[in-house]
Amino acid sequence: MLWYAKRLPAFPESDTLPENKVSGCVSQVYITANLADGKVLYQGNSDAQLVKGLVGLLVEDLSGLTPAEIVSITPDFIQDTGLNVSLIPSRANGFYNIFQMMKKKGLQSLGSEQLELN
């Protein structure tokens, strides 16, 4: 996970806003999403290195997908990867909350592009 944390690009301080904060995490976690050429591009950050690595894993895996692809992903992948047994319950719950926020932000990015086109 630390490898993923190191790979995350710097998160703009200007995006450290309440609407980008993931609720239900013990750590401070922020997620943004933008749509470019029909694909969602995420950025994220956390004040805890392990959680930052979890954010990095999701950013790498979900960035570049369409909003429809992101929405179709179920949280089953958490069990499939084995992360659920590697993380303490509060971290597993936080990881799930980060994932749900990313799905929500992916859909919001689609809506913002449609607004810009009109």
Q: Which of 25, 54, 70, 101 is catalytic?
A: 25
CA 111 to chain centre: 18
CA-CA distance, 29 to 9, in Å (whole number)? 14
Residue 64 has what DSSP assignment? T
25 is catalytic: yes
Name the residue with tokens 């995420």.
Answer: 42
- Please identify every residue annotated as catalytic: 25
